[in-house]
Amino acid sequence: MRGAVFWEPNKPLTMEDFQMPRPKAGELLIKTKACGVCHSDLHVLKGDLPFSSPCVLGHELTGEVVEHGAHTDVSVTKRFPIGSHVVGAFIMPCGNCFFCVKGQEDLCEAFFSYNRAKGTLYDGETRLFLRNSGKPVYMYSMGGLAEYCVIPANALAKLPNSLPYSESAILGCAVFTAYGAMRHAADIRAGDSIAVIGVGGVGGSCIQIARAFGAAEIIAVDVLDEKLSNALGLGATHTVNASKEDVVDRIK
């Protein structure tokens, strides 16, 4: 297979040939259909966020299940049969650590100890190796900027066949983040009034989710009129341009 490899900061990615990655128990091999570029990927590319190299970036991913790892539990194979459309989450929870058991998968100890610190999955090994040399290549999350990737089943969700791959790739990152903010941090309920500061990918998703939760007033705050106009289309009831007026006074 082919994948885009990051070697060092501020250098172009290169397309390389890889051995076909093999999933292990509890993991699935996914044929990548779409993968976005997140700002955290750009932080790695610029050297602002240190990460093991060489590596494959990309975690805003949708794809199709093509293989189950040997000895994968039957509950997983039934949930994600071959051919299933799926979306991956950028945090890939182990499901077993202190935080995962508490339902705080975003703080998964294994994810940060292994994937973010070492570029591997939870056995301490990558699933990516260059075809000719066998050199290991590390994984930023699942390493989605490749034709295939290995993802733990805990980090996957079924994607309805009616949803397009490209537009849905953002679900596992910006929308995933926005849902956590709206449900678990802000605890938005029907009738609430909220202000969303900054309406990029995450902020725009916050607006849509708040609307789905029944928020009565959704105030979008940004410094660009174009983004504020877009926010109205996403469900904002009011907008405030912070470069032109006092945000606190206007919201009051």
* pLDDT tens-digit readout, 164-186: 999 999 999 999 899 999 998 99
Same domain, 66 and 140: yes
Domain boundary among 171, 188, 206: 171
Stated length of the chain: 252
Mean residue pLDDT of the chain comes to 96
Catalytic annotation, pick one of 35, 52, 55, 59? 59
Residues 143 and 21: beta-carbon distance below 8 Å = no
* Strand locations in 70-202 (E): 85-88, 128-129, 136-139, 148-152, 156-158, 193-197
Same domain, 125 and 226: no
Annotated active-site residue 43? The verdict is yes
Same domain, 67 and 158: yes
Same domain, 92 and 129: yes
Residues 110-145: pLDDT tens digits? Answer: 999 999 999 999 999 999 999 999 999 999 999 999
Residues 129 and 19: beta-carbon distance below 8 Å = yes
Domain boundary among 171, 191, 221: 171
Q: What pTM was estimated for this model as a whole?
A: 0.90
The structural domain count of the chain equals 2
Please give the pLDDT value at position 43.
97
Catalytic annotation, pick one of 55, 94, 173, 206? 173
Same domain, 58 and 152: yes
Q: DSSP H helical segments within the chain, as ranges?
A: 39-46, 74-79, 98-101, 109-110, 117-118, 165-168, 174-179, 201-212, 225-234, 247-251
Please give the pLDDT value at position 219.
98
Please give the pLDDT value at position 179.
93
Annotated active-site residue 38? The verdict is yes
Same domain, 158 and 224: no
Same domain, 232 and 153: no
Same domain, 105 and 156: yes
| CATH number of residue 54's parent domain | 3.90.180.10
Please give the pLDDT value at position 224.
96
Domain boundary among 108, 138, 171: 171
Same domain, 218 and 244: yes
Same domain, 117 and 145: yes
Please give the pLDDT value at position 220.
98
Instruction: Name the residue range of residue 42's domain.
Output: 2-171
Please give the pLDDT value at position 252.
83
Same domain, 156 and 210: no
Give the separation between CA 148 and CA 128, rounded to whole angstroms: 10
Q: What letter does residue 224 receive in the DSSP assignment?
A: -
Annotated active-site residue 39? The verdict is no
One-letter identity of residue 44: V
Same domain, 33 and 145: yes
Please give the pLDDT value at position 232.
97
pLDDT digit string (tens) for the chain, length 252 residues: 999 999 999 999 999 999 999 999 999 999 999 999 999 999 999 999 999 999 999 999 999 999 999 999 999 999 999 999 999 999 999 999 999 999 999 999 999 999 999 999 999 999 999 999 999 999 999 999 999 999 999 999 999 999 999 999 999 999 989 999 999 899 999 999 999 999 999 999 999 999 999 999 999 999 999 999 999 999 999 999 999 999 999 998
| CATH number of residue 213's parent domain | 3.40.50.720
Annotated active-site residue 94? The verdict is no
Q: DSSP H helical segments within 31-103, as ranges?
A: 39-46, 74-79, 98-101
Catalytic annotation, pick one of 40, 52, 168, 205? 40
For 55, the token pair is 């590596």
Annotated active-site residue 59? The verdict is yes
